[in-house]
């Protein structure tokens, strides 16, 4: 297995080519030829060492936890997949990732990719899709007809969450910059708040669910717009995060949840028909080659925090 990752924590200059020894498949595993991988903020945060107190990795480590590819080999007990199947997955964050030529995944992590998506598009879905489902459905129990506020609607998670919430029948409010108004409107947002021109807490009210992707003051202000017994889910933090509360949260008896995404192939199975039916489309900002230089450029892009949708790495451009 050849990949790209780190031998020690640090900046993108620490990204290196890594060679790992091949191993035999366990009975419940599949080997994937990687066609595309996506870049998420967790990738470079982990590279920098921000999560080393929470997750004890053994280095070297290949990075990347979104993947789409073709099944090369299956273990003896695998029943859902066969050689040649087109798949996508959110791999286990505790193991080597998808910036590689191939990888081995447990069967329960894998789903057949949407037939209407390219590999690059499919690779953009798993992490943001599972994060959204687990935040809005598993934690917040979002219902049709409820009002949901999704912060940072033009980002990787926001672009998926807007479409998913609309598919669930919710009324969707989102925050974004004024320049992205038409972009998020095209994703299905019913109400758009320009964070660079107005304070969302002065504009929206009676929100049933807040999906927070930013943390800090945005999270604390979100309690002001929630209804009594409203629900707030945040992804800002690490695995051991305790969601901060204030007097408003306590007075309104707001339920709070921290979402640290669990890989789950069965939940990807739920996303696939939404994509194939056109209810959710891939939003890919930029595609870089799945090479050392391509990964460095992709990380630099992601670190700027101004991505519209997802950044993807494609093996088509390998050299």
Model confidence over 178-188: pLDDT tens digits? 999 999 999 99
Strand-pair partners of 6: 15, 61
Tokens of 122: 């499919």
Domain boundaries, the chain: 2-125+283-317, 128-258
CATH class of 2-125+283-317: alpha beta
Residue 319 confidence (pLDDT) above 70: no
Query: For the whole model, what pTM was predicted?
Result: 0.95
Average pLDDT over residues 4-14: 97
Residue position matching structure tokens 């700027």 = 304
Mean residue pLDDT of the chain comes to 96
Q: Are 254 and 229 in contact (CB under 8 A)?
A: yes
What is the C-alpha separation between 7 and 13, in angstroms, rounded? Answer: 11
Compute CA distances 259 → 108, 147, 228, 232, whole Å.
20, 20, 21, 10
Question: Does the pLDDT at position 136 exceed 70?
Answer: yes
For 99-125, the pLDDT digits (tens) are 999 999 999 999 999 999 999 999 999
Q: Using CA atoms, how far apart are residues 225 and 248, in angstroms rounded to an integer?
A: 10
Confidence of residue 317 (pLDDT cuts 50, 70, 90): low
Tokens 């695995």, located at residue? 239
Q: Which CATH architecture has domain 128-258?
A: 3-Layer(aba) Sandwich (3.40)
List residues bridging with 88 in a β-sheet.
68, 111
């Amino acid at each position: 297995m050849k990949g790209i990752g780190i031998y020690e924590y640090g900046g993108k200059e620490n990204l290196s080519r890594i060679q790992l020894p091949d191993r035999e498949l366990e009975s419940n595993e599949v080997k994937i030829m990687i066609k595309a991988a996506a870049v998420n903020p967790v990738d470079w945060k982990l590279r920098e060492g921000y999560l080393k107190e929470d997750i004890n990795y053994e280095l070297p480590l290949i990075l990347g936890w979104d993947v789409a590819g073709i099944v090369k080999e299956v273990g003896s007990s695998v029943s859902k997949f066969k050689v040649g199947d087109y798949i996508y997955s959110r791999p286990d964050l505790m193991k080597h990732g998808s910036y590689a030529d191939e990888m081995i995944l447990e069967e329960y992590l894998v789903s057949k990719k949407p037939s209407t998506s390219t590999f690059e598009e499919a690779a953009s879905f798993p992490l943001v899709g599972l994060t959204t489902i687990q935040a809005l459905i598993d934690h917040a129990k979002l219902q049709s007809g409820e009002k949901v506020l999704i912060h940072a609607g033009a980002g990787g998670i926001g672009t998926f969450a807007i479409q998913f919430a609309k598919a669930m029948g919710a009324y969707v409010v989102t925050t974004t910059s004024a320049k992205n108004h038409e972009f998020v409107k095209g994703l299905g947002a019913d109400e758009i708040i320009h964070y660079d021109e107005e304070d969302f807490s002065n504009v929206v009210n009676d929100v049933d669910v807040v999906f927070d992707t930013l943390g800090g003051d945005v999270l604390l202000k979100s309690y002001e717009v929630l209804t009594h017994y409203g629900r707030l889910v945040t992804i800002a933090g690490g695995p051991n995060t305790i969601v901060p509360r204030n007097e408003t949260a306590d007075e309104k008896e707001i339920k709070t949840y921290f979402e640290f995404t669990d890989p789950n192939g069965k939940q990807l199975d739920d996303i696939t028909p939404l994509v194939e039916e056109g209810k959710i489309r891939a939003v890919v900002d930029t595609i870089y080659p799945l090479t050392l230089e391509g990964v460095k450029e992709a990380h630099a892009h992601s670190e700027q925090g101004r991505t519209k949708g997802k950044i993807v790495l494609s093996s088509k451009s390998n050299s």
